Amino acid sequence: MTAETIDAFHFGGFHVVQPASGGHRSGMDAMLLAAMVAGEGALKVADLGAGAGAAGLAVASRLPQAHVTLVERSPEMAAFARKSAVLPQNAHLAGRVSVVEADVTLKGRARVAAGLEDEIYDHVIMNPPFHEGHAAEPSIGAAMIKAAYDALRNGGNLLMVANRGLPYEPVLAEHFKQHGEVCRNARFKVLWAKR
């Protein structure tokens, strides 16, 4: 059993159950992604590689009619996301947040069987892992970009945080009709794309 914490975000607007140590803990990158999702009404948003769900929960907290799907392949992190979704402190998000435990890079029937639908989301947000072990592995993020394209409806938007040295721009150009950079610092960049 992994030790966990329950952490408040947005001044207590929602809470996240996450590993106390040894796993990915949510921070400013997740809140930055969530802050950039815009729109009104019953938007459909997917958080690919959601971890414990902080970014997606932040979207649901900010946009009171948005429906958010948290997609995570790690059983342990998906369990944290499920716990987060049903916390009493998150009761105001009930019915608008779901968790799908699946590899976002699945294709065809396997993708549909896992609960991943194509061309239904208005927004996809993600902060793809950029390494396996200690080695940089940009193919993970590239596969997730392709999965985001498949998940988005025509005109839908992708927002992603990435290590600034990883070459995702050519992958975005290959799949999306528009793309660009929102901002960067010494370590990370935020990219956007429109299907």
Domain ranges of the chain: 4-194
pLDDT at residue number 187 = 87
Lowest mean pLDDT among 23-37, 87-101, 179-193: 23-37
Alpha-carbon dihedral 168, 147, 32, 19, rounded to 10 degrees: -110
Q: Which of 135, 146, 133 is nearest to 173 (CA)?
A: 146
For residues 157 and 124, give the distance between their C-alpha atoms in angstroms, rounded to a whole number: 6
Residue 34 makes CB contacts below 8 A (sequence gap 6+) with 54, 55, 56, 58, 59, 62, 125
Q: How many CB atoms lie within 10 A of CB 52?
A: 31
For residues 65 and 47, give the distance between their C-alpha atoms in angstroms, rounded to a whole number: 16
pLDDT per position as a tens digit, 48-60 = 999 999 999 999 9
pLDDT at residue number 95 = 94
pLDDT at residue number 139 = 87
Angle at 190 between CA 184 and CA 195, to 5 degrees: 145
pLDDT at residue number 164 = 85
DSSP labels for 113-130?
HTT--SS-EEEEEE----
DSSP 8-state assignment for residue 92? G
Judged against a pLDDT cut of 90, whether residue 64 lies above it is answered with yes
Q: pLDDT-based confidence at 2, cuts 50/70/90?
A: confident
Judged against a pLDDT cut of 90, whether residue 93 lies above it is answered with yes
Is this structure's pTM higher than 0.85?
Answer: yes
Q: Report, as an integer, the average pLDDT of 99-119.
A: 91
Q: Class assignment of domain 4-194?
A: alpha beta
